[in-house]
Each structure stands twice: as C-alpha cells, then as structure tokens.
Amino acid sequence: MISAALADGTADRPCVFEVFARRLPAGRRYGVVGGTGRLLDRLADFRFTEEEVAVVADSLDERTIRWLRDFRFTGDIDGYREGELYFPGSPVLSVRGGFAECVVLETLVLSVFNHDSAIAAAAARMSSAARGRRIIEMGSRRTHEEAAVAAARASYLAGFHSTSNVEATRRHGVPSAGTSAHAFTLLHTGPDGPDEAAAFRSQVATLGVGTTLLVDTYDITSGVATAVEVAGPELGGVRIDSGDLGVLARQVRDQLDALGAQRTKIVVSGDLDEYAIAALRAEPVDVYGVGTRLVTGSGASTAGMVYKLVEVDGIPVAKRSTHKETLPGAKRAVRYHRASGTAVEEVLFPVSGSAPDDPSLEQRELMIPMLRDGEPVPDLPSLEQSRDHHAAVMVSLPWEGLALSAGDPAIPVRTVAPHGIPS
Amino acid sequence: MISAALADGTADRPCVFEVFARRLPAGRRYGVVGGTGRLLDRLADFRFTEEEVAVVADSLDERTIRWLRDFRFTGDIDGYREGELYFPGSPVLSVRGGFAECVVLETLVLSVFNHDSAIAAAAARMSSAARGRRIIEMGSRRTHEEAAVAAARASYLAGFHSTSNVEATRRHGVPSAGTSAHAFTLLHTGPDGPDEAAAFRSQVATLGVGTTLLVDTYDITSGVATAVEVAGPELGGVRIDSGDLGVLARQVRDQLDALGAQRTKIVVSGDLDEYAIAALRAEPVDVYGVGTRLVTGSGASTAGMVYKLVEVDGIPVAKRSTHKETLPGAKRAVRYHRASGTAVEEVLFPVSGSAPDDPSLEQRELMIPMLRDGEPVPDLPSLEQSRDHHAAVMVSLPWEGLALSAGDPAIPVRTVAPHGIPS
C-alpha cells in the first residue's frame, strides 16, 4: 500500500484514522480504554532498523525502502484518556497525518489497544465485583510473556492492587506482591515424607510472620494449624488455592479466630473471575488472587477495535459494504452527565461542529491532545493519574451499568450527523 | 521462595518439574505442543541484568541477590517435539535441576507454552477444516504486539501457509503474504467521490496483475468488474471481507469466470474460525484469511498448562488437595500406533521403568532430549521440521479425533503406576 501510494502521489494526502469498537463483547455494558500510555511510549521510538528493512527490501522499490528507513511519525494524535470508559463507536483514538505515515501505525495501535483494553475491561468488572477488597494479579503464566507485563499494567489501571509480575514493577511501577507456590512446600519432603512445617518455618524465617503461607498442599485444616503453630497468631495471611473457596474461607476464618489469629488475612485464588469474586462477597475473604480469567479478558480476550480511515483531504469517507459501515468524517466526543455525576449519553459530532447544548446536563470533553507533529504534548497522564481517572469514571456509570449480567451498553452513543452526511 | 530455599539449604535439591495440561479446553479432542523452539531460544539468554536485580534488591538478602546475578540454568530439559499432539496429563516438558534454578523458569516456560500451544491448537483445527486450501494468518492487530509474532509462528507450525506479520518472517522465517486494506481504496477519493478504479490501477502498477484486490469497499459486483477491467483476466486474486461469504464467493466466482478470469483466486476473510472454514468447503474459495479467531485460540486463548514439582531427590511428590492432584514422580511417555499409523493410546510410566509391551502395536517414544547441563543438544528440530512433524502426527489421529464437534480426547492416556504409588 505504501509503495503504491508513494508511486501514485497519494502517500502524503492528509488523512484522519479513528480507532473504535463497533460493539462491546457480548453482554458487556462498558469498555475501558487501556494501552494509551504504553502506545505513546512505543511510538516515541517507532522506527525501522536496517535489519528490519532488509526483510522486505527484496519486494520493494528503492523509493519505498528509503521511506521506511526515514520513517518517523510526524502527525497528531488525540484520544480518550487511558482508563476512560467507551461504548460502541466511541472514537477512542484519532490519528491525523499523511496516509502512509498513519497506515503504518495501524497494527501497533490496534495490538496495544485490543489487548490492553480487553484486560482493563475484565479487570474493571472484577474490581467492581470485589467492592474494595484487594485483588492481586497472578496471571503471567497463562499468557504470552510480554502480554503478561501489559496485562499486569492494565489490571492496575483498572483497580487491581498489585501484581506478581515483577517486570511490570520495573517497567511501569505497578506494586508487586505474591505468595509461595505448592512446589516450595513439596520441596520440603524427605525420606520420612512431607514436612509442611519445615517449609513454613523456612518461609517465616526469611520473610517474617507477616508473610502469607499456602495452606492447601496437603490438608487445609492441618495446614492452618501448622501455619499458626509455626508463625504464631501474628501470621500475615494464609492462601487457599483449591476446593470450594466459600466454604473453606469460612472454616479457615473460624479456625484462625479460634487459634487467636483474628488478624490473619485469607487470600483465595484458583480460576477466579468477576462472577466467582461476586459470589464470595458474603464470605470472610480479604484478598483475591486472579490469574487465568484476567489475562484472557474473562471471555473476551480482544477488544475488537478497528482503525478506520474516516477522512481524506477534508472529505469524509467510509466503507459501504454490508454490516461493516463506519461513520464517515473526523469526530469529537462529549459525554453528558447529570449534576449528580451520573453519565447519561455520549455524543459524537463533526470536529468542525459543536456539541448540542443541553443546559440541564454537564458536558465533558472526552478527547485530549496526545501528540503534536509527532511529539508528545506536555503533562500526559501518568499510569497513577489514569488509574485515578478510571476510578472516578466508574462512579459515573448508571447503577445498572455495573451489573455483571449480560445487558446493553450502559449509556447510548448518539451521532450528530455532519452537514450532508446522514448519521 | 528462592531466598528461603537458599537459607534452609534446599535450593540445590535435585528436582523434576513437569509441564502438562490437566485437561483440554472444553470439547477439544487434542492439543498441539507449541512454543518449544521459542522457549529454547529464550532460555539461551535467560539471565537477570543488574537493572532487573535492582528492582527486587530492597526486599532480598545479599545471598539471593548474588544468586540472581549469577543465575544461569544448568539443568536438563526433555520434552515432546514441537508440533506433537498432547492429551490430558501428557508431560510435554520435563525440567530437571536444582530447585531454585528450575522454579525460576516456571513463568517463562508456562507463558510460552500456554500461549503458543493455544494458538497452535486453534490453527491445527482450522488447517484441518481447510482441507488443503491455503490459510493466511492475519490476526496481528487483535492481540498483543509481541504475542502477534508468536501467534504467526505457531499458526505456521500448525499448517497455515503464511502470515501478514513481517516480523515473524524476520525472526522465524514464516513466509509473508497479505492483501491491501479498505483504507487504500478509500484513500482514492476525490471531490467527485470514490474512485475504486484509481486505487486498483495504482496497486496493479506497483505489484503487478498477480496481486489480490480487495473488492468489497463499495459494491462487490462493481468491485469485481472494475478489478478485472483494470488488471485483466490474469488478475491474481480478489478478496471479500464482509457479507455472506459463501453466497458471495459463488457469485464472484461466476462473475470472474464470465469475465474470462477463471484463474483469479478468491480470498475470503472476516472473523473466520474452523467452523466457518468448514462451512465454506463446498464454496469456490481458494484462500482463507484468518485473524481474530486464530489469535484468541478460537475460544481457548490459553492452553491451561501447569508446571509441577513431581520429584525431589528421587522421591515422588504431589499436592494432595481437592481436585488438583498431580501424578507424582518423573515420567516418560510413549504412544502406541497400529501398523496403519493410527494412534490408539498414550502411556506414561516412571523414568526408571519401561513401557508395557504390546507386540500388536508400534511404540513411539514421545520425549526427546533438548538441554543437557544447560546447553542445547545438537540438531534440535527447526520450525520447518516441527511443521512437518505436526503434519505427520495429525494423520495419525483416529478419524473421530479430527471432528470439530465437542468430544472426548482422541486417544486415552494411561499411567503405569510406579512401584508403591497408586496411579
């Protein structure tokens, strides 16, 4: 495409591409923008090395090879803040520049957004179901090793408390946390058989009584008794990773209390998702460890976002084939809120126009500038700020928007047609 | 865990860890080992940098920090060949060494296997459904940017023909292929409206008449007519990306034939999975482009493999809590085949024992050596060899094992109990 556009003179035509999801995953009531910060970091050094150009050099003409060598994105990007909610059609990112420089970003932009937004949405549902109890992200082993780091970041964005992925701490500053594995307990096996107490003593000797001991390697009741015997009643926590977690949490709580370990926390893990977390609300659980279901997006492992050309040289354009229509023309987006803060509607309108006025509602502009002439604008939100923003916008959802059951998008998205183009 | 094991003297206890899936994704009849080659590449330079050690240095004692700085895996690894089929319990990888050096590999090993095997299994089902028609992998935009490269590799392993991910060509030698996007056609819009012919002319001028033109941006019938008008009857292919692909493929085939373009291929894409591919068997489709459903594992985006300590100092060990039992002791695996080549059973037995003899069946050893004393053994299979191996073992499945419908694993896995340990 780039070769042909360079040859026919269209490579530098001013274009606007928008990123949006045509629909939310089945039954989901909101999406969460994830990946913006990570994308902007990656764009800062998005170039093609000589070695990379060499791979395609055989099939390309000299002009295209030169273009790839010199490539650097010099356009503008605006978008929804990371952590913001989105709905079907919300233009979460708007990329403006020459055709060729914009089209070459498509795969990176969509990969980052489709992955990170899918994880952020799952994390938001889980965080909301946990109602303030802490969630530790523990899913690294169930997804690609690099996706794991991004998943830890996206889950923190959407309310998780910490991650077992230390690389996410190094790269993104996500707080790290973790417990021990069954292998550590099993390691303490001798000719006379298992020695759970030896494993617990070793862990407590190294990490102190504030550590969390994994009590379900053999028998949970003995495991809890041994844990308190070894660490004393000031033991930080016990983790249960198998069995009927609700029943076990209650039994273990009673046992801990009877042993005087009233402040020892109960951590549960094992294929938890938002529904399992919600089902444990009435049980004495302090911390959830969530893995597989987080990194797989809890049933929706991609956000289904697309990157579509919506405007060429000021002319709105759109694909017209069956079932895949896009709204032509560059758009802006505002969300209307009641005085109480509750969101009621999102409105998309042409960048040249203005948002319809409704004095009874507060208007919030959804897109912020991110790149100008290829350079990041000052004071882009940090991950912590995006996390705070996410927490704030979750509160603005109408109450039914927080339901875990399948339903419609929490608020409608209305498009105000540009002059002459039907909506 | 490593700190505590270093402190209590258990860090170097000889251990065996095994990687296996307790079950296949719901209804799947086989799994495909994916990621072995990629893991061995990553292990070759698996060290902790000073910067990485610094992240955890505050919470670790000096001995552990030194251990991390000096870390290098010095143990042995055996495993199923990449591309091999596996079933519940198959020990697809066996890692042997000191406790600490083995446990530190867990996350990397599982991330690679859980991702790549999930994609390889989905690709195998799709390749099998395509019955020899070519499939191009086009899913990069729907998954994490690094997972995308691994997914392209795993799909090639399991029979796909090529990928649109050029980085997979650079890193792994996967053949690349692709078509143009709707944006390229839309780019050719002027004040007088869309000009599909201009886009097609430009693409043909650059890539020749052998190129594949995307004909569904506006109206498919006009698109096909314009494509043949521009490129002539020697046009390489047309791609249809929306609508009822079966109906459209037949209409487009008739139209191409009537225009004298009998050899122009039809490429279809648009949320295809193994079921959609199978449903198009009777239609005149030449090439499938598969994206989202491949990179999301067609409903099973993680293989659910675990990394379990099975032996310490020669003593078989296993977790004993509810529903998560593992088979203790280091194992070997053989598969029995009829003289016709059809697989009938897989048998796991203790490494110290031997496989039960059955003169009526042929026995195939499933594990090959991969690392010895931390070094790769000579002549490990290349990706091409693994791809050939995969194609060969797919033929060994009993016919019902290839059904797309939900069912049981295609062959049973039987464990021959080690002396004194019940199976």
What CATH number does the domain containing A289 carry? 3.20.20.70
Q: What is the CATH classification number for the domain harbouring B67? A: 3.20.140.10
- Please tell me the distance in Å from A4's CA to the nearest CA on chain B: 5
Question: With an 8 Å Cβ cutoff, are B111 and A143 in contact?
Answer: yes
Specify the pLDDT at position B357: 85
**Domain stops at, among A296, A329, A360:** A296
Residues B382 and B406 in one domain: yes
Residues A350 and A378 in one domain: yes
- Please tell me the distance in Å from B119's CA to the nearest CA on chain A: 11
pLDDT tens digit sequence for A2-13: 999 999 999 999
Across the range B109-113, mean pLDDT stands at 98
Q: Could you tell me which residues are beta bridge partners of residue B213? A: B238
Question: With an 8 Å Cβ cutoff, are A141 and B110 in contact?
Answer: yes
* Single-letter code of the amino acid located at B123: A
Q: What's the rounded Cα separation, in Å, for the pair A318 and B362?
A: 60
Chain-wide mean pLDDT for chain A?
Answer: 95
pLDDT tens digit sequence for B185-198: 999 999 999 999 99
Q: Is residue A421 part of a domain?
A: no
Instruction: Work out the number of other CB atoms within 10 angstroms of the CB of residue A328.
Output: 23
| Tokens read off for B173 | 């030698």
Question: With an 8 Å Cβ cutoff, are B296 and A309 in contact?
Answer: no
Residues A391 and A359 in one domain: yes
Q: Do residues A101 and A135 make contact, with C-beta atoms less than 8 angstroms apart?
A: no
Question: With an 8 Å Cβ cutoff, are B320 and A140 in contact?
Answer: no
Question: With an 8 Å Cβ cutoff, are A111 and B140 in contact?
Answer: yes
Instruction: Work out the number of other CB atoms within 10 angstroms of the CB of residue A418.
Output: 19
Across the range B117-135, mean pLDDT stands at 98
Residues B345 and B374 in one domain: yes
Q: At what angle do helices B220-231 and B196-207 cross, to 10 degrees?
A: 40
Specify the pLDDT at position B421: 45
* Contacts of residue B166, Cβ cutoff 8 Å, sequence gap at least 6: A55, A56, B176
H or E stretch at B307: strand B305-312
Helix (H, G, I), strand (E, B) or coil at B343: strand
- Please tell me the distance in Å from A358's CA to the nearest CA on chain B: 35
Phi, psi of B22 (to 5 degrees): -65, -35
pTM of the predicted model as reported, rounded to 2 decimal places:
0.97
Give the confidence band of A140 by pLDDT, cuts at 50, 70, 90. Answer: very high
Chain B residues close to A210, C-beta within 8 Å: none
Residues B142 and B8 in one domain: no
Burial of B122 (C-beta count, 10 Å sphere; 0-12/13-18/19+): buried
Mutate to test the interface with A, among B302, B307, B326, B421 (most CBs of A within 10 A): B302
The percent of residues above 90 in pLDDT, for chain B, comes to: 92
Residues A271 and A140 in one domain: yes
- Please tell me the distance in Å from B180's CA to the nearest CA on chain A: 6
- Please tell me the distance in Å from B396's CA to the nearest CA on chain A: 29
Specify the pLDDT at position B178: 85
* Contacts of residue B392, Cβ cutoff 8 Å, sequence gap at least 6: none
Q: Is residue B125 part of a domain?
A: no
Specify the pLDDT at position B422: 43
Q: Is residue B124 part of a domain?
A: no
The percent of residues above 70 in pLDDT, for chain A, comes to: 97
**Domain stops at, among B241, B270, B297:** B297
Specify the pLDDT at position B324: 54
Q: Give the residue carrying structure tokens 């839309």.
A: B186
Of B148, B206, B321, the CB nearest to A217: B321
Question: With an 8 Å Cβ cutoff, are B180 and A1 in contact?
Answer: yes
Chain-wide mean pLDDT for chain B?
Answer: 95
Question: With an 8 Å Cβ cutoff, are A148 and B107 in contact?
Answer: yes
Specify the pLDDT at position B327: 73
Chain B residues close to A144, C-beta within 8 Å: 111-112, 115, 144, 146-147, 150
pLDDT tens digit sequence for A286-303: 999 999 999 999 999 999
Domain that holds residue B203: 131-297
Question: With an 8 Å Cβ cutoff, are A140 and B218 in contact?
Answer: no
Residues A240 and A135 in one domain: yes
Q: Do residues A383 and A75 make contact, with C-beta atoms less than 8 angstroms apart?
A: no
Across the range A329-341, mean pLDDT stands at 96
Mutate to test the interface with B, among A321, A323, A421 (most CBs of B within 10 A): A321
Q: Is residue B230 part of a domain?
A: yes
DSSP, residue by residue, B139-200 = -GGGS-HHHHHHHHHHHHHTT--EES-HHHHHHH-PPB-----HHHHHHSEETTEE-HHHHH
Residues A152 and A228 in one domain: yes
Question: With an 8 Å Cβ cutoff, are A141 and B318 in contact?
Answer: no
| Tokens read off for A388 | 């705070």
| Tokens read off for A296 | 């797989």
Residue B349 reports pLDDT greater than 50: yes
- Please tell me the distance in Å from B280's CA to the nearest CA on chain A: 19
Q: Is residue A18 part of a domain?
A: yes
Residue ranges of alpha helices (H) inside B232-324 are 245-258, 274-279, 292-295
Of B107, B150, B205, the CB nearest to A140: B107
Q: Do residues B390 and B124 make contact, with C-beta atoms less than 8 angstroms apart?
A: yes
Question: With an 8 Å Cβ cutoff, are B4 and A309 in contact?
Answer: no
Specify the pLDDT at position A324: 54
Q: Is residue A420 part of a domain?
A: no
Helix (H, G, I), strand (E, B) or coil at B97: strand
CA dihedral A240, A244, A245, A248 (to 10 degrees): -70
Residues B259 and B145 in one domain: yes
Residue A420 reports pLDDT greater than 50: no
pLDDT tens digit sequence for A353-369: 888 888 999 999 999 99
Size of interface A-B (CB pairs under 8 A): 258
**Domain stops at, among B243, B274, B297:** B297
Give the total number of structural domains in chain B: 2
Q: Is residue B420 part of a domain?
A: no
Q: Is residue B204 part of a domain?
A: yes
Across the range B141-157, mean pLDDT stands at 98
Of B55, B99, B324, the CB nearest to A187: B99
Burial of B49 (C-beta count, 10 Å sphere; 0-12/13-18/19+): exposed
Specify the pLDDT at position A192: 92
Give the confidence band of A418 by pLDDT, cuts at 50, 70, 90. Answer: low
Specify the pLDDT at position B325: 57
Give the confidence band of A423 by pLDDT, cuts at 50, 70, 90. Answer: very low
